[in-house]
Chain A
């Protein structure tokens, strides 16, 4: 292949192309997620206008070359606000998934490897947390501790723990029953070493898929919370908050509500497609329709 001859860059491109042919869904999701991350990184350094800069003479302007997506009811540039809330959305969503993973993965591993009473107890606790969907958990914690980015992130994170715990436990159980683990045990490896050398690497792909799928849920939950006024308080730009304030101007300027809506939907679509595609690549038996 000519791609291989090009040296270090070539093979990885070829591999990417192969991957793209095998899972269009993962490729599409990867590209969308990549673009969102790029926009978020760009917004850290540069936005066309300050996202909080109010201009009393330029309220509710339609899209134009100087304001590509127009301005909101305070004359703030909509594109700048959309860009700067990409950061917050990604940080908050990723933070929630991180919390869920840090607690859920060890809990799942422990439940799988120890079994017995402790395993049963862990999974029952996961069931209990599972009866509080992310939004309900967040509303409860906000009632107790007040609305803030941190409260929203932690609440969504806690509510997502069971998802990680279940996936990890399921995957770990399969590995623990395999013959090479039996062999490792017979060989005299300690349980901790077995966990590190055999279980963790095999569980990791499932965890990555779960993370991507969870990110689509947490992005949605973060947006819903800020829409309800229970997330990051204004004037900080959030997609949900922008949607909420645009709703008062639907008759004058319906486009104002469309932009943040599209941003939320595209992010959810991206993470969902990436997770779905990775799952298909990981487990061909799950692929439907072949």
Chain B
């Protein structure tokens, strides 16, 4: 493997470790013991002590940290302090909602951004291009949860087209599951699509004025031929970077969108765990999201080099 990849992989692992340490420290240096929180204020001291030992909370913090990390790496996440349920299957079933939601959101975003971005760049001197650019500006300003509620008002309250909230499990009906993900994915994707569209526009505009495109036109290529042959690969570079940032935006956006549409995903699990002070579940989920962000950054870096041979994978 080229040296760049090794170096980048190493910094990614170090960043992941540092992030896990940060999450652990923030959630574990708290006043009061988790056992006390679980049992409530009326609990006897003996009961609190017993539960503390049972949960392994009497061990030194560094032991608890290693135990947690070891569990994460081997997918042995233990049981929730509050419900007593095993955590891994709970997170797994939540991800069966969140992962498709994020992917569908990404799909909607790209499907919106590519045509609007390219068209508003090609027509930047005409009214249609300006209107498109202004519309994306507006799209950026509407937060996804506001858009979600507006969509509920239009599609569910007035038109009665789609369910306003809730989730039909995949095992019950694939169509039903997709239906319950439709409005959430649109609210999630449209906003990210608007942001992405602006970057596509800027990238295509930059390419349009490039020398090699003029040369290609001088050689007799039509504008769309020249753009497809020479322009797209160059325009793709900045767009890929933003796409990576978008993905983490989508994951965070999903947390809020799941609350809007009461979807039983990872975001809802995170929020209910915060409300119940189920700190071990919070710790696992926060780490999961941070890991997605960090690993996405790594992938974007690699993709960047694959698309642009000038930067190169080698030393």
A residues neighboring B (CB under 8 Å):
127-128, 131-133, 135-136, 139-144, 216, 220, 223-224, 227-230, 243, 246-247, 250-251, 254, 257-258, 261, 264-266, 268-269, 272-273, 288-289
Answer whether A257 and B201 are a contact pair too, CB < 8 Å, given A135-B256, A265-B141: no
Q: With the chains together, A247 CA to B293 CA distance in Å?
A: 31
Interchain nearest-CB distance for B18 vs A (Å): 5
Interchain nearest-CB distance for A277 vs B (Å): 11
Q: With the chains together, A228 CA to B145 CA distance in Å?
A: 10
14 residue pairs bridging A and B, Cβ less than 8 Å apart = A127-B15, A132-B293, A133-B249, A136-B286, A139-B255, A140-B282, A140-B286, A141-B26, A216-B141, A220-B143, A227-B145, A258-B153, A265-B146, A268-B140
Main SS at interface, chain B: helix
Determine the residue in chain A with the shortest Cβ distance to B129: A289
Give the total number of A-B pairs whose CB atoms are below 8 A apart.
Answer: 120
Determine the residue in chain B with the shortest Cβ distance to A125: B18
In the assembled complex, B72 has its CB within 8 A of some CB on chain A: no
* A269:B157 contact, CB within 8 angstroms: no
| A132, A143, A257: most-surrounded residue (chain B CB, <10 A) | A143
Q: With the chains together, A135 CA to B259 CA distance in Å?
A: 14
Q: With the chains together, A14 CA to B206 CA distance in Å?
A: 34
Q: Contacts A136-B255, A143-B273, A265-B141 given; 15 further ones with Cβ under 8 A? A: A132-B286, A133-B293, A135-B256, A139-B270, A142-B274, A144-B26, A223-B143, A224-B143, A227-B259, A251-B157, A254-B153, A257-B150, A257-B153, A269-B138, A269-B141
Answer whether A269 and B146 are a contact pair too, CB < 8 Å, given A133-B249, A136-B286: no
Q: Considering the complex of A and B, which 8 residue pairs feature the smallest CB-CB distances, nearest first?
A: A269-B141, A261-B146, A268-B141, A289-B124, A143-B274, A254-B153, A143-B282, A288-B202
Q: With the chains together, A288 CA to B207 CA distance in Å?
A: 12
B residues neighboring A (CB under 8 Å):
15, 18-19, 22-23, 26-27, 30, 121, 124, 137-138, 140-143, 145-146, 149-150, 152-153, 156-157, 164, 201-202, 205-206, 248-249, 252, 255-256, 259-260, 270-271, 273-275, 277, 279, 282, 286, 289-290, 293-294, 297
Determine the residue in chain A with the shortest Cβ distance to B204: A288
